Every structure is written in C-alpha cells, then in structure tokens.
Structure 1
Amino acid sequence: MKPYIIISGLNFRDNNRGTAALSYGSLSFLNERELLSKETKILNFRFVKNLFKSKNRGTNIQKIDIAGVKWECLTVNVFFVEALLFKYLHVCLPFTNLGRMIKQVEYVAAINGGDGFSDIYNTTSFLNRLPDINLAMKFNIPVIILPQTLGPFRESKNKVIADRILCYASQIFVRDDKYASDLEAMGLKYEQTRDLSYYMKPEPFNIEIKANAIGINISGLAYSNKFRTLSGQFSTYPYLINKLIVYFQQKNIAIYLIPHSYNYQKVEVANDDLEAARDVYSKLHDKSNIILIDQDLISPQIKFIISQMKFFIGTRMHANFAAMYTGVPLFGLAYSYKFQGAFEANGIYDSTAMINDISEKEADAIVERIVTKYKSLD
C-alpha cells in the first residue's frame, strides 16, 4: 500500500459540526474496511500565493486520536503556480512536493459534506468540492465515494459532471437510495451503509444534563431565511420553533437548545445555529427550563450532549444523525428530500416534515405530529 491517502473535505474544526463529524467518521470507516494501515498518512495539498509568509511554507503535521488510534495528517503547502501549470498545460513538476507525493497516493476518498454532491445549494458549492477528485482523475488515482447522499441536480450540466465522476470511482458508498436508479441505469455497483457520522464516538465531558430533557437544534440557515438558493423559504420557521418551545415548556420539561453548525469566534452569516439559538433565547419571555448550549464544542462532544436527550428535534441533518445513532427518539424538520431518505434508510418512518414555504397552520400541524410522537414514548 502506498504511504498516503487524500480524504477530500477533511476538516475536524469545520463550523458545521456535522461536516467535522464526517471527518472523524471517515477515518474510522476506512479503518474498519481495512482500507488503511497504521502507517498510512493523511495528505492534504494547500495551494498558496505568498510563500514568504511563514504559515505558507513547509508542511504542517497534525496528529488526531480517534478511538485510541493516532493518525498523522499532513498539510503540504504548494505554490499556486504549480496548480496553474497542471490545470492549463498538464505539466507536473517532478522535483516539487506535489510532484513527488502525488505519485505515492493510494486513493482519494471523497466526503463531499455528506450532502454536497449536489447543486441543491448552488453550482459553485458543488464544484468547489471537486478539486481533489479532479486531481485524482488526472493522475489516474482511484476515487472512493464515501457514504453520502448523491444528488439531486437542478442543472443538467452538473449531473453530467457528477455521473462522469461516479463512473470513474472505484468504490461507491451511499447512505440512502435516492440516487439508486441513476447508479443502476449506469451499471454502477454501490453499497448502502450508515452515514459516516455513525462511526464517530461520543466524547463525554464535564457537563450536567437534566433528566428526561428534550433537545432542539435550531438551524441558522432556516432561521435567517437568507441562505443562497434557499433564501425566502422559511419565513414561518421562527414561529414553528417558538411553538415547540412553548409547548414543552408548559409541560415543565427541560429544553436544550443545541447548535450544530456555528463559529464561536465569528458568526457565520445567514448560517449560524448559535446566533439563531441566542436570538430565540433572548426573545423568550419565560426562560425557565431552557438551557442554551453556548460553548465552543467539537463534534464528539455535541454528539454526547444529544445522546443524553430523551427526545430530539433537529433541523440539521447531522444533528439528527447524532440522535439516531445513539438511540435517541427524534423528529426531523426537513428542507430537502434527503431527510426522509436518510431516516427511512435507518428504519425510522413518519418522523420528518418539510418546512419549506409552510403556513402557520401547517406549522401547527407539524407541532401536533411531534407532540404525538413524543407522547408515544411513554
């Protein structure tokens, strides 16, 4: 086995703790599938414009401990001119780090954010996830599509790009069956497995959780109602969240507001769960039994908090996965068909509701469905 692999999209400190969970889970998944050896190093090329800055020179080495196994992650700084030479002239300089190390890569494994192999957000977001895959295809390096949702595609040109990549891939793993007919039509073999975040273990830490509590994940994407192509579809979402809080608060049940995608130092515009949760909390006339998780936590720690809930209501897909994979009953507030597919792939039915362009009357009906499921637990 060659000494290096590339995991496209690897980021243990991504604002989206779900995306970070995929990074933790990807190593455990590949290790479980015997696609890694203990000597394997994780490689990432970082293209830089200014080599005079100290942070842009040399190689950064990070060691990450996952379930007792320590992995070495290398970030190699590469002068951007090399990327341009390769992209436009198909020239790779053999004496540089890029030229030497790329030949020693066993495969590229693609995370794609779990749901980013799609143009649901926009074309730019889709294309921005592909550089490592494109690099692999140009160097004839195998590509592994790690467990994720494939599609949907609004633009036919994007689907052409996606299908070309899938036809090239040596292994394809999916977490649901939403693209199954397309894969079968192309004659491609695939395996349906759990989402990568399943393989990330919860990390207990010093926090006191009240008994029989309910967790609610408020999505900054939906709450802001200003996120890219989804802008304007969630005007009723704050009303829905408030109705849920008021109902369970009146039942004297502890409610934890649990952000799952946020930047603790600098708010992520139109997409920050903590900013949304803080706003909801600040506007509550009665804050009794409401606990806002306002800490800079890593993915395994948030998964631990969610695992301690009696019931969970999530809008972020991977917040729901954290509940699902730790045995917590849940209900998903969905803005994409991926929710229903992912829930049903894990044997959970009638536990999602679409929240795009709903009226207050429809929001009330969603609350009733959630209450019914909660009552069924007793």
Structure 2
Amino acid sequence: MRVLTLWAQDASSNLGVRVLGEGTSALVRLAHPGSEVVCQSYRQGPAPVNIGVPRTLLRERVTDRAGLRSWMRSFDYVVDMRAGDSFADIYGLQRLFAMSSMAEFVRSCGVPLVMGPQTVGPFDTPRGRAIGRWSLHRATKVMARDPLSADAARALGRPVDVLTTDVVFALDVPEPGPERDVLLNVSGLLWTSDSHGPASRYQELVRGVIADLQERGRTVTLLSHVLEADDAADSDVAVVRALGDELGLDQVVPTDLTDVRRAMRGARLVLGSRMHACLNALSVGTPAIPLAYSRKFAPLLSAVGWPHVVSLADADARDAVRGLLDRSDDLTAAAADVRPTAQPMLDAARDCLRALV
C-alpha cells in the first residue's frame, strides 16, 4: 500500500505541522500496516513540481511534462490534510484555491482523495464558500476533527463521513523526559504580529501569567513549539530565548517531535499558545491550559473531554488562567481521561481508511 499525505510534513520546523505528518502516517499504518506513506507540501517532498502553483497543475494535467500525473497515479489513495486548519478562507483565497487545485488534480488522476481529520471553515466569503463546497463534494471521503467543522461541512451540503479527532492521538506515548513543573509555550507569531490580536496585549498576558505562576510557587520553563528554519518567520525560539534571559527562566528548544512530547510528559502542567502544543501535552496525559487565538481550539478540545480553554479575545483571560491554576489537581486527574476518550473517535478514522481498499 502506498499513500500520499498532502499539506503535512514529517520534517517541519513547526512541530504542529510535524504532528500532522507523523500522526497521519501513524493513522494510515493503523489502517494498513506496513504501508509506505509519503508527505508532500508545496516543494517539500518528492513531487516533481511545486504542488502549490495552480497553473503548473493545469499544465501537468494536460501534458504530464514533469511527470506529476504519473507520480500521482503511483499512490493507492491520498489524504489531504490542508495544514490542519487551512481548509478555510481566513488565510486568503489564494491559499485556499491553490490547495483545492491540488485536490482537484488528484481526482483528475483517478486516485481516491480523503479529506483527513482537520478543521473545516470558516468560509466568510462567497468565493470561499464556493471553493469549499466544490472540494467537499469532490472528495471520496471527508473527515472532520471537531463538531463545529462537521456543522460547517453540512452547511455546504456535504456532511462528513467521519467525525473524528486530531491525528496526534495516533502517535505513541513516549517515555517521560526530565521532570519539570510548568512548561509555558510562548508563540513567536502572537508575540511579534497583530494578525491574531494585538501583540502588546498578548505580551502583557504572558508576563502576567508568569507572575501569577511564580506567586503560587510554581517553577516556569519556557518552551518553543515552532523551531528556527529559513522559512519559519513565526519561530518561537527567538522570543523564548529573549524572554527567558530577561526573566531568568529556563528554556526548552526541542530537537524534534519526540523530544517535545517527552518534555511534555515529564511536566506537571503545560500552558500553550500553539494548539498542537496543548494537544501534544494532553495526548501524553499531561494537563494543558490552552491560550486560544482562534475558533479551532475549543470545539476540538471539548470533544475529547477538555473544556478548559482560555480565549485570548476575552478581556478576563488572565483571570480565567488564574482560575484554572487554582484547580491544578483537578486538571491533572482529568487529563488522564483525554486519550481514552479520543481513542474511539480515532478508531472511526482508521476504519474509514480501511474501507477504501
């Protein structure tokens, strides 16, 4: 069995994207043991062309000059992951159109296309809704990783085949790393950009949360979840290092996905500004307090029994974090139930893939 995963990487500097790559590979192998799984995103991967250029895809569809059509037909099916949350128009129509063009290219090659476990929507523009509706109806199978996404698909006239959860739960639980008290993931994107709300407000909140933790006698270690790379403009590393040096806090810059998951399993508590930082923690049994910057956090986490999400858009976000810190023992006990809750949902995704072949 040979399977292609689109728009997810197993060697990305963004460890959330790496979760999508390695987690999807693990899910495929649960369905079809021994399968070869190939990851491709833009130029990252073995495809003979950049798959993010619609004009190139159209030319290859007609001529197969670079061999993309022949290469695509070497796969038994394709799992389209859309970077987890890019099947939406919030990142611009160009990105949505490019990814959807690649999905259409797959279908034109006669290869089954599965919309893998991901966020569906929001689609706030007429053109975005039209592209989303077309992609959903063209897919062989559609999965959503949260109920709100399933509702979005239904609103576009194509109910999902499977309501599942994130592929992080397909990853093995690693041995614990060094014992630490609190790991605080600081987002370089939120710290330096106003694209998801005022950066100054986020900085104030992070500093306040650190002060609240220290007042409670907790030991804080800062954590990077997006590493440094030539194309990682939103890396967490520079911010974590600068803030850690300023406040005299230890810092963890993991080497890979296993390393960060080991670090989280060794911690007593994780506070995360990246959704997959929180999911990595919960999937290894460590409680997490998400500092959510978008609507993708709450429905996914609530579906696996974790309603403890703090929205950065709320004026009382710091108070909400304080309230959860006061319930640390309750959170620790509840975290043990998350993976067992997620498992049947993941099994549904596995069974869906098994039924393809």
* Aligned residue number for residue 184 of structure 2: 216
Evaluate the alpha carbon distance shift between residue 124 and residue 276 of structure 1 in structure 2; reply closer, same or farther with a 3 A threshold. farther
* Aligned residue number for residue 350 of structure 2: none
Deviations 1:83-141 (A, max 9, x none): 857615952348x6434333333222111111111122333333343343131122232
Is 1:256 equivalent to 2:221 in the alignment? yes
Aligned partner letter, 1:236: R
TM-score normalised by the chain length of structure 1: 0.77
Cα distance in structure 2, aligned partners of 1:134 and 1:182: 20
Deviations 1:288-314 (A, max 9, x none): xx320134x111211111122111111
Cα distance in structure 2, aligned partners of 1:43 and 1:13: 9
* Aligned residue number for residue 232 of structure 2: 268
| Aligned partners of 1:108 and 1:132 also within 8 Å | no
After TM superposition, the structure 1 = structure 2 runs for residues 227-238 of structure 1, keeping only pairs within 5 Å, are 227=195, 230=196, 232-238=197-203
Q: CA deviation at 1:340?
A: 0.8
* Aligned residue number for residue 281 of structure 2: 323
| Aligned partners of 1:267 and 1:275 also within 8 Å | no
Q: RMSD of the alignment, in Å?
A: 3.0
Q: CA deviation at 1:166?
A: 1.0
SS in 2 for 1:310: strand
Aligned partner letter, 2:187: S
| Aligned partners of 1:254 and 1:291 also within 8 Å | no
Aligned partner letter, 2:253: D
Percent identical among aligned pairs is 20
Q: CA deviation at 1:157?
A: 0.7
Evaluate the alpha carbon distance shift between residue 116 and residue 137 of structure 1 in structure 2; reply closer, same or farther with a 3 A threshold. same
Match of 1:199 among 141, 163, 170: 170
Match of 2:48 among 66, 69, 77: 77
Deviations 1:200-251 (A, max 9, x none): 225558x5333xx111111111111344xx3x43431111111111222233
TM-score normalised by the chain length of structure 2: 0.82
* Aligned residue number for residue 370 of structure 1: 324
Match of 1:294 among 237, 249, 253: 253
Cα distance in structure 2, aligned partners of 1:242 and 1:45: 36
* Aligned residue number for residue 34 of structure 2: 38
Evaluate the alpha carbon distance shift between residue 319 and residue 39 of structure 1 in structure 2; reply closer, same or farther with a 3 A threshold. closer
Q: Which residues of structure 1 form unaligned runs of 5+?
A: 48-59, 61-73
Specify which structure has the higher proportion of helix. 2
Q: Which residues of structure 2 form unaligned runs of 5+?
A: 333-357
Is 1:127 equivalent to 2:90 in the alignment? no
Evaluate the alpha carbon distance shift between residue 39 and residue 243 of structure 1 in structure 2; reply closer, same or farther with a 3 A threshold. closer
Evaluate the alpha carbon distance shift between residue 243 and residue 189 of structure 1 in structure 2; reply closer, same or farther with a 3 A threshold. closer
Q: CA deviation at 1:41?
A: 5.5
Cα distance in structure 2, aligned partners of 1:39 and 1:342: 28
